[in-house]
Amino acid sequence: MYSAAVNAHIRELIELVMEYRDQGQWDKLEHLFTESPYIDESMFNKEAPGKKSPANVLYGWRRMLRDMYYSARHRLGHMDIERTGKKEVAATSEVEARYYSLKEGKRYVHIMDGVYEYTFRKVAGRWKIDSLTLKVVDQRTQPVGA
């Protein structure tokens, strides 16, 4: 694939990560990762960064959503995608995440602005996420509708 096609495909994969996460399509999401990607979302969820199986990563995401929130929505911003090798692509994506909760009968939204840094690796002819790091820029909680 030439560069423009690779960039478009990587952009689509990043969009799918957020779509599947918002919709709880965990089985589809699991197939987007290599066997043991490096995951660092410690700025948001306090879990130690490191190589993890996709099943463990997704279990943590499901647990967080189920235990703390009743809904999540991610909106992607600017993306930078760069081919760094024959079988490697680096990408960054701005994201605004909104996590909705209900406390004492009132609805709240936790808004997190950040940047995801990805490394994609080609495995058996398919691009997969080999590393994912979240850098939080800002976060706040407010009543829904405020």
Q: Does domain 3-143 have CATH number 3.10.310.30?
A: no
pLDDT, tens digit, 9 for 90 and up, residues 98-137: 999 999 999 999 999 999 999 999 999 999 999 999 999 9
Which strands, in side-by-side order, build the sheet including 106-123? 50-51, 33-40, 126-143, 106-123, 88-103, 71-85
pLDDT, tens digit, 9 for 90 and up, residues 16-45: 999 999 998 999 999 999 999 999 988 766
pLDDT, tens digit, 9 for 90 and up, residues 55-103: 988 888 888 777 888 889 999 999 999 999 999 999 999 999 999 999 9
Which pLDDT does position 145 carry in this prediction? 80
Which pLDDT does position 2 carry in this prediction? 54
Which pLDDT does position 17 carry in this prediction? 94
Which pLDDT does position 90 carry in this prediction? 97
DSSP lists the bridge partners of residue 134 as: 116
User: Strand 106-123 and strand 88-103: pairing?
Assistant: antiparallel
Q: Bin 70: left if φ > 0, else alpha if -120 < ψ < 50, else beta.
A: alpha
What's the CA gap between 38 and 130, in Å, rounded? Answer: 6
pTM of the shown model: 0.88
Alpha carbons within 13 angstroms on the beta-carbon side of residue 57 total 29
Which pLDDT does position 1 carry in this prediction? 46
